[in-house]
């Protein structure tokens, strides 16, 4: 889905919906209807998944890591265990034999698990515990989706400033500012070209 966070293995779900997390859209700061007054400064995006991962608090990182090890992606699992092995100075067999809960705690404490693992964890966080943010944003934009996963026809919908502003306002009304920032930053990291305008997004604080 061209406009939502996206899983690492880009599969398709039933009904023609594509994986979420492939970005989102730009948002103008200007406005003739008073919107600009709501924001004081532009949002400052982290330029790598690792930097964004580091900016999350311990509870957020643990939530993401717990979800990841509950249903690990085979494509990323080896790198995730490698990050634990390196950080804890463990033997590979020890890391592999750890219970998922212990693996999650260990990975959550690793601030630099590598770009691939960090990106996977950010996607997992939003697809699991924050899926409601995806549906809220996409509903406000008027993009067709299934539980936050964009459908094929979403590619034909234009994302003008008015739509994007509505999406940001919908997020701000329901979710903490730091979660909105992390979500939009993750979307931009997923597809920088498509969602380049997000860099001009006004800060939701």
Name residues whose C-beta falls within 8 Å of residue 17's C-beta, 6 or more positions apart in sequence. Answer: 1, 145, 146, 149, 150, 151, 152
Q: Is residue 102 part of a domain?
A: no
- Residues 174 and 136 sit within 8 Å (Cβ to Cβ): yes
* Domain of 33, in residue numbers: 14-56+116-200
How far, in Å, CA of 19 to CA of 17, rounded? 7
Per-residue pLDDT of the chain (205 residues; tens, 9 = 90+): 333 454 333 343 334 444 445 433 333 334 444 444 444 577 789 999 999 999 999 999 999 999 999 999 999 999 999 999 999 999 999 999 999 999 999 999 999 999 999 999 999 999 998 999 999 988 998 989 888 777 888 878 777 777 878 888 999 999 999 999 999 999 889 878 777 777 777 888 8
Domain count, the chain: 1
Based on the number of CB atoms within 10 Å of its own CB, is 137 exposed (0-12), middle (13-18) or buried (19 or more)?
A: buried
Q: Please tell me the predicted confidence (pLDDT) of residue 64.
A: 98
Note the pTM of the prediction, 2 decimals. Answer: 0.79
Q: Please tell me the predicted confidence (pLDDT) of residue 116.
A: 97
Q: Is residue 84 part of a domain?
A: no
Q: Please tell me the predicted confidence (pLDDT) of residue 21.
A: 53
Q: How crowded is the C-beta side of 190, counted as CA atoms within 13 Å?
A: 31
Q: Is residue 26 part of a domain?
A: yes
H/E element, 49: helix 49-55
Q: Is residue 47 part of a domain?
A: yes
Q: Is residue 205 part of a domain?
A: no
Only one residue has tokens 């690793």, namely 110
How far, in Å, CA of 36 to CA of 146, rounded? 31
Q: Is residue 46 part of a domain?
A: yes
CA distances from 48 to 15, 77, 167, 186 (A): 33, 20, 24, 9
How far, in Å, CA of 151 to CA of 143, rounded? 8
H/E element, 182: helix 177-190
Q: Is residue 163 part of a domain?
A: yes
Q: Is residue 194 part of a domain?
A: yes
């Amino acid at each position: 889905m061209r406009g939502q966070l996206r899983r690492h293995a880009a599969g398709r779900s039933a009904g023609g919906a594509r994986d979420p997390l492939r970005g989102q859209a730009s948002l103008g700061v200007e406005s003739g209807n008073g919107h600009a007054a709501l924001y004081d400064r532009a949002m400052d995006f982290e330029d790598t998944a690792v930097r964004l991962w580091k900016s999350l608090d311990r509870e957020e990182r643990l939530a993401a890591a717990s979800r990841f090890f509950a249903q690990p992606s085979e494509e990323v699992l080896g790198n995730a265990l490698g990050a634990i092995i390196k950080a804890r100075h463990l033997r590979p067999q020890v890391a592999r034999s750890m219970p998922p809960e212990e693996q999650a705690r260990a990975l959550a404490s690793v601030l630099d698990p590598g770009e691939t693992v960090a990106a996977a964890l950010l996607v997992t966080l939003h697809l699991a515990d924050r899926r409601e943010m995806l549906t809220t944003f996409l509903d406000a934009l008027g993009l067709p989706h299934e539980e936050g996963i964009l459908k094929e026809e979403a590619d034909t919908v234009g994302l003008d400033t008015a739509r994007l502003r509505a999406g940001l306002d919908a997020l701000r009304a329901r979710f903490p500012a730091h979660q909105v920032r992390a979500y939009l930053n993750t979307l931009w990291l997923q597809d920088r070209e498509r969602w380049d305008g997000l860099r001009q997004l006004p800060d939701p604080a």
